[in-house]
Chain A
Amino acid sequence: MRLHEYQAKRILSQRGISTPEGGVAYTPGEAHEVAAQLRGRVVVKAQVLAPGRGRAGGIRVAEGPEAAELAAQEIMSLAIGGLPVRRVLVERAIDIRRQMYMGLALQPTGEVQFTVASEAAPFTEPPRTIALDYGIGLLPFQVRELAFALGLPQRATEGMVQMGLALWDTLIATDALWVELNPLALTPVEDLVVVDSKITLDDNALYRHPELAELREAEELTPAESEARRYGLYYVGLDGNVGSLVNGAGLAMATSDAIEALGGRSANILDVGGGARAQRVAAGMNILLRDARLRSILVAIFGGITRCDEVAAGILAAIQCSGAPVPIYVRLTGTNEHEGRQMLAGAPVTLVSDLYEGARLAVATAEAA
């Protein structure tokens, strides 16, 4: 799970990492209040989990409370990357002498990569990277060596060592997959201050961090995504017109890939998961049947734990509720396949025996429509 900047900074400052003073505002009036407390020049930043915040006008400098309120009002009227801006971070503006980068990333190999760069990402010159042993962690000399290589003055070098060690503690203590400070600022008095930060947490470990529970509430989902999540489905929206419902993430990706490879355009990746009962399948089908963009639907099920008769019951229930506005192609194979296919015999769906054949028909229908 990706964290908002203000959430990441709160976690970092709790571990002794220096971040600018500031606060979150949910209304322009609140932005005024925060700016009034800070006094002087502030930065108002959209808190939205989408890239390209700065380019979209989501970061503004303001000279005082009134200017901050106005900036907040304008930023909160934006949609960045399709997401509305619901909150802004108001922070004291920092004098920056130099912008750098520091990050820790847990690798799929189990090593942790420590990266520093003499500029903020995206880099024009290559960053400096070392692979850390997970059991030993980050050692002071390792940070010091890199700080010397960046040509940091003595005071900032020691600051970077402290910050690096605190960053490692953060990664371990929060079960994070990835922590980055970008940019990390060197101020005229040689302090290091985190200007922006990204943290990605491991969803599987959230249960042992009750103090991070509120972070989930701030997550941003489209309406279809949040409906899907309520029923335990995975839904990822794409731009096309062929909908597909499958069991298993790999199969979901493969089905979407097949649709595109056949010249079609996939509208989504919808996975009902393993062992889905009729109700969950019906919820997934309803998301598709109500999607006005769709010109055809492909259901591709390989029943292992999932039973094909449960899938068939779910499809029937959804059609009864929402109708069958577009052609539906169904490939049902695996556990209780025979029962499932029989149940669908009289339904307004076309049974196919092969996934690729189903994809071909669904694409042809969508392109002809």
Chain B
Amino acid sequence: MSILLDAETRVLVQGITGREGRFHTQRMLDYGTKVVAGVVPGRGGEWVHGVPVFDSVREAMVATEAEASVTFVPARFATDAIYEAAFSGIKLIVSVTEGIPVHDVVRLRRFLAERNARLIGPNSPGIVVPGAAKLGIMPGSIHTPGPVGVLSRSSTLTYEIVAALSRFRLGQSTVVGIGGDYVVGTGFVELLELLNDDPDTEEVVLIGEIGGMEEQLAAEYIGSHMSKPVVAYIAGLTAPPRKRIGHPGAIVDRSDSSAQEKIEALRAAGVQVAEHPAQVAELLQAGTREGA
């Protein structure tokens, strides 16, 4: 089992005829994901890699019973695409798009909460359930099935750490990139709750960075509710204040967002915090050996 999706989840790709949409649809199909439909307004009736394209999400859902959507839509049109998916009844929406205005995401969060729908991202590399399905742009080849749940704010660090986990024969149950924006649709805490209840997840890796307060909220939850061991890595100890580091959310602008404070909050909650990415796998392995 896994969280959010599995091999049976019927997936719709918004923006399937674009360069990225086309490319990653092929990759998702290769991985075994059930991509059942694409949506591009005005391109209904076309086919992409054997997947039928529809003019609207509603039409696609009537024809294919799609349950989850991944959006490869340029920033200026992405907010509309996410609303369209939610209005049509999609409950899981992954947005790969970088550069969606923050106020739009705040409004989307409120709307989606009312609809009981979930947005992963924006600016998310996606979700991978190793061996079963992937939604988004993560390279499938680095993943192996297993018991470690991985949650991350950074795409490249996810790849770096997942590849190391796989080298150490520490397979993954579900890997989720929540995105590096200032406000995200789904935070660490909601996903920790799901992993905590997931019978196939035994341990959790949390990958954070400067900016925002996701890590502090996660630390609070872990300290009071988490029954499974958590190993974390937090990037940005050397990041200078008041400079944005790539991600719109990665900026030390206020006292609550430095890497050091996040590390301290997590350690206080009983989380082992790695000093560099490769150490995550070492700490997990050491923990498993102790437990065994």
By a beta-carbon cutoff of 8 Å, the part of chain A in contact with chain B is 2, 51, 105-110, 134-135, 172, 175, 177-178, 200, 202-205, 207-208, 234, 236, 238, 246-254, 256-261, 266, 269, 271, 273-274, 302, 304-305, 333-335, 354-356, 359
Chain A residues, CB < 8 A from B228: none
Query: Which residues B222-244 have CB closer than 8 A to chain A?
Result: 233, 235-240, 242-243
Pick the residue among B152, B247, B277 that contacts A355 (CB under 8 A): B277
Chain A residues, CB < 8 A from B183: 106, 108-110
User: CA of A200 to CA of B254 in the docked complex: distance in angstroms?
Assistant: 13
Q: Which residue of A lies closest to B160 (CB)?
A: A302
Task: Report whether B245 and A252 are in contact in the complex, using a CB–CB cutoff of 8 Å.
Answer: yes
User: CA of A203 to CA of B246 in the docked complex: distance in angstroms?
Assistant: 12
Q: Which residue of B lies closest to A112 (CB)?
A: B106
Q: A135-B110, A302-B159 are in contact. Are A253 and B137 (CB under 8 A)?
A: no
- B169 within 8 A of partner (CB): no
Q: Which residue of B lies closest to A49 (CB)?
A: B242
Task: Report whether A202 and B245 are in contact in the complex, using a CB–CB cutoff of 8 Å.
Answer: no
Task: Report whether B276 and A249 are in contact in the complex, using a CB–CB cutoff of 8 Å.
Answer: no
Give the total of B residues in contact with A, Cβ under 8 Å.
62
Task: Report whether A204 and B102 are in contact in the complex, using a CB–CB cutoff of 8 Å.
Answer: yes
Q: A204-B100, A248-B156 are in contact. Are A110 and B110 (CB under 8 A)?
A: yes
User: CA of A206 to CA of B13 in the docked complex: distance in angstroms?
Assistant: 28
Chain B residues, CB < 8 A from A207: 76
Chain A residues, CB < 8 A from B158: 250
- B38 within 8 A of partner (CB): no
Q: A134-B107, A172-B103, A202-B101 are in contact. Are A254 and B155 (CB under 8 A)?
A: no
Q: Which residue of B lies closest to A335 (CB)?
A: B139
Chain B residues, CB < 8 A from A251: 154, 156-157, 160, 235
Q: Which residue of A lies closest to B101 (CB)?
A: A205
- B5 within 8 A of partner (CB): no
Contact with A along B156-177 (1 / 0, CB 8 A): 1111100100000000000000
Contact with A along B56-82 (1 / 0, CB 8 A): 000000000000000000011000000
Pick the residue among A172, A249, A273, A305 that contacts B245 (CB under 8 A): A249
Q: A250-B157, A304-B139 are in contact. Are A204 and B163 (CB under 8 A)?
A: no
Chain B residues, CB < 8 A from A359: 276
Q: A248-B154, A248-B156 are in contact. Are A253 and B238 (CB under 8 A)?
A: yes
A207 to chain B, nearest CB (A): 7
New contact pairs (20) apart from A250-B235, A251-B160, A257-B276, CB-CB < 8 Å: A107-B213, A108-B183, A108-B211, A108-B214, A110-B105, A134-B106, A202-B101, A202-B102, A204-B101, A207-B76, A236-B245, A246-B156, A248-B154, A248-B155, A251-B156, A254-B276, A260-B238, A273-B246, A355-B278, A356-B276
B174 to chain A, nearest CB (A): 18
A51 to chain B, nearest CB (A): 8
Task: Report whether A234 and B276 are in contact in the complex, using a CB–CB cutoff of 8 Å.
Answer: no
Contact with A along B89-114 (1 / 0, CB 8 A): 00000000001111111110110000
Chain A residues, CB < 8 A from B249: 108
Task: Report whether B160 and A254 are in contact in the complex, using a CB–CB cutoff of 8 Å.
Answer: yes
A14 to chain B, nearest CB (A): 19
Task: Report whether B240 and A236 are in contact in the complex, using a CB–CB cutoff of 8 Å.
Answer: yes
Task: Report whether B245 and A253 are in contact in the complex, using a CB–CB cutoff of 8 Å.
Answer: yes
Task: Report whether A108 and B238 are in contact in the complex, using a CB–CB cutoff of 8 Å.
Answer: no
Q: Which residue of B lies closest to A357 (CB)?
A: B278
- Could you give 7 example pairs across A and B, Cβ below 8 Å? A106-B183, A109-B217, A248-B155, A250-B155, A251-B157, A254-B160, A258-B276
Q: Which residue of B lies closest to A333 (CB)?
A: B163
Task: Report whether B277 and A203 are in contact in the complex, using a CB–CB cutoff of 8 Å.
Answer: no
Task: Report whether A234 and B245 are in contact in the complex, using a CB–CB cutoff of 8 Å.
Answer: yes
User: CA of A205 to CA of B181 in the docked complex: distance in angstroms?
Assistant: 13
- B131 within 8 A of partner (CB): no
User: CA of A135 to CA of B157 in the docked complex: distance in angstroms?
Assistant: 35
Q: Which residue of B lies closest to A205 (CB)?
A: B101
- B203 within 8 A of partner (CB): no
- B138 within 8 A of partner (CB): yes
Task: Report which residue of A134, A250, A258, A359 has the largest number of chain B beta carbons within 10 angstroms of its beta carbon.
Answer: A250
- B271 within 8 A of partner (CB): no
